[in-house]
Amino acid sequence: MNLVILGLPGAGKGTHAQRLKEELQMCHLSSGEVLKRAIQQETEAGNKARTYVTSGDLVPDRIVINLMADEISKYNEPPLLFDGFPRTLRQAHRLDEIMKKHDKFIDLSIYLEVKKDNLLKRISGRRICSREGTVYHIDFNPPQEDGICDRCGAPLLQREDDKQEIVKKRIEESEKRISKIVKYYQEKNILKKINGTDRSPDQVHGDVQKAVHSYLEQLKH
């Protein structure tokens, strides 16, 4: 089973993708991590993407699609779990084409629905350890000492694209695009919507698990 997790920035895609990866032994392909790695390695694609990421703009389709196509080609056996990709309707179409080349297809798409006010608070409150990358939140998971990592004592930083003005822009632009992708997967009859507003991660993940296991049960009949 190959799965896509959709949601606006801060909806919890990465959190639930990581849990599903461990529960179902899936290969987790995060477009954010793929882009981050390309930027850190200063590849040609990474250098092109850097300007867009730091300004909060969407990285052009051609860069993201080529990077993700390279990642998909590395895996033959494990089921694939896409997080943060596709982010545009064109990416959704291209993903289907890329998967078809590898005799695969997307079986299920899960859309995490969260109100925009909640998303803004979630993202702008994130702080990340400058040394180890441990994630904190000033409201939901604060460090013991303000601005300092509990684990190693390094300073906590706010990512440039987590700043409030950039987050607002990201959410507004994402909302316009994601509605088209949701419709695309609805028309293919493979979309499941999950309410992620004002609910604990465990509650949301319980619904995510139900959606996945419901699909797996259908395959048995």
Q: Which fold has domain 3-114+164-220?
A: Rossmann fold (3.40.50)
Q: In a structure prediction context, what are the per-residue pLDDT tens digits for the chain, which is 221 residues long?
A: 999 999 998 898 988 999 999 999 999 999 988 998 999 999 888 998 998 888 767 799 999 999 999 999 988 878 999 998 999 999 999 999 999 999 999 999 999 999 998 999 889 999 999 998 888 999 888 999 999 999 999 999 998 888 888 888 889 888 999 999 999 999 999 999 999 998 888 999 999 999 999 988 887 76
Of the listed 50, 104, 159, 168, which one is catalytic? 159
Of the listed 94, 122, 170, 177, which one is catalytic? 170
Phi and psi angles of residue 192, each rounded to the nearest 5 degrees, phi first: -130, 120
Spatial separation of the C-alpha atoms in residues 139 and 137, rounded to whole Å: 5
Q: Give the SS3 label for residue 8.
A: coil
Domain spans, the chain: 3-114+164-220, 115-158
Catalytic residue status for 170: yes
DSSP 8-state code for residue 85: -
Q: What is the pTM of this model?
A: 0.84
Of the listed 21, 87, 94, 122, which one is catalytic? 87
Of the listed 21, 122, 126, 177, which one is catalytic? 126
